[in-house]
Amino acid sequence: MKKDSENALWIEIRDSIGAIKDISTEIALRKGNISHIEQFRDGNRIHLYLEIGGLRNLDGVVRNLGKLNSVSSVTIVPTLKKIYGKRVIVIGGGAQVAEVAKGAISEADRHNIRGEKISVDTIPLIGESEIANAVRAVARLPRARILILAGSLMGGEITKAVRELQKAGIPVISLSMAGSVPKVANLVVSDPIQAGVMAVMAIADTAKFDINIQKGRRY
């Protein structure tokens, strides 16, 4: 029987001990591999979002999960990758973040029209420790592919966090600013709108911009 390459399930579960174990056991019996899992609580309702690869007979898994005492309902849904795709993350001061987002959203629109899926996430923050924590957390965000740091002064603990993020395989674009962050960034761009545009180009399959070739350059 043909295996489905990538599936996602939205499961409402009862608040009971062993619910996740019951669900994962059933999926494993069907040779499914859970690649991503998120849990949500809305009042008394609990939902699981699962991304699963290698499943044999998806419809059969859904039927069997629906029979579990710990499960209220099961729905097959598109994966978040198919809906939202790759993520550009923008962190920094409100005004700069807004300008970077303007460029990133405009460029993402061009590529998404061609069949890409690229989304833009922003958070305005102040404070060295707050920004450093946010930078480190990017490595834990599903589908995050590139980070843009938009501000007037960043260094110290933020620079350490940038190096850690780069080791995790996520490149960092910095606006031209005071501090040590521009010295370690993969790319430094003076214009915030252009920084957003170049970030999207760097991760888009429908673009020919290679950020590795541009490493260390300033624009």
Task: Give start and end residues of each alpha helix (H) in the chain.
Answer: 19-29, 58-66, 80-83, 94-113, 128-138, 157-167, 181-184, 192-203
For position 4, what pLDDT does the model report?
44
C-alpha 184 chain-centroid distance = 22
Axis crossing angle, helix 157-167 with helix 128-138, rounded to the nearest 10: 0
What's the sign of the alpha-carbon dihedral 107, 102, 143, 80?
Answer: negative
Cβ 58 vs Cβ 6: under 8 Å: no
Q: What is the DSSP letter of 153?
A: B
For position 103, what pLDDT does the model report?
97
Residue 164 to residue 157: CA distance in whole angstroms: 11
Cβ 194 vs Cβ 208: under 8 Å: no
Question: Six-digit token pair at 39?
Answer: 């849990």
Cβ 54 vs Cβ 20: under 8 Å: no
Its pTM stands at 0.87
Domains and CATH numbers, the chain: 3-79 (3.30.70.260), 84-203 (3.40.50.10550)
Residue 79 to residue 6: CA distance in whole angstroms: 8
pLDDT per 10-residue tile (average), the chain, 219 residues: 70 91 93 92 89 89 94 95 96 96 97 95 96 98 97 96 97 97 96 97 88 76
DSSP-assigned beta bridge partners for residue 86: 118
For position 43, what pLDDT does the model report?
79
Q: What is the DSSP letter of 143?
A: T
- Nearest Cα neighbor of 111 from 153, 155, 145, 71 is 145
Residue 90 to residue 177: CA distance in whole angstroms: 15
